[in-house]
Amino acid sequence: MGDGTQNRYKSYDWSKPFDPAEYRGSSKAITMLYENWLEASSQLVETRREIEEIKKLYTDLDKSHAILSAEKEAAKKRRWTPFILQSVAVVCGGIGVNLLTGDTNKEYGWIFLLISLILEILAFIVVKAEA
C-alpha cells in the first residue's frame, strides 16, 4: 500500500455505520466505493501472493535447517574415529619408545612403533576420506 492509501484508511471513521442510502443516486459515491473495492481487492491478491512466497521461503529454510542439522550430527560422529585412532597411536608410540630405550624387549618396542605409525596413517586416511 502506498502512503496515500494508508493515510486514507487511517483517517476513515470505521465506527461509522454503513448506510446504503447515501450511495443511491450518487454515481460519484458509487464510483469511489467501487475504486476502493478494486484497490482493496488488488491489495488482497498481492498480500496473498506475498504470503505464499513467505510460506515457500519458510519451507525452503526449514529444509535447509534439517539438512544442516543432519550434516552437523554426522560431522560430530566422524570426528571421533580419527581422534581415537590418533590417541591409541600416541599411546603405542610412547610404549614403543619406552621399550626401545629400556634394556629388554626391544623387538616389542619396534612392534609398538610400527603399530603407532600404521594407526596415524589410518587416521590420516580417515580424515581425508571424510573431507
Cell match 450511495: residue?
Answer: 23
Cell match 576420506: residue?
Answer: 129
Distance CA 84, CA 120 (A): 10
Per-residue pLDDT of the chain (131 residues; tens, 9 = 90+): 445 555 555 556 666 777 777 778 888 888 888 888 899 999 999 999 999 999 999 999 999 999 999 988 877 776 788 888 899 999 999 999 998 898 887 888 899 999 999 999 998 888 888 76
Distance CA 36, CA 47 (A): 16
> What residue ranges do the domains of the chain occupy?
16-130
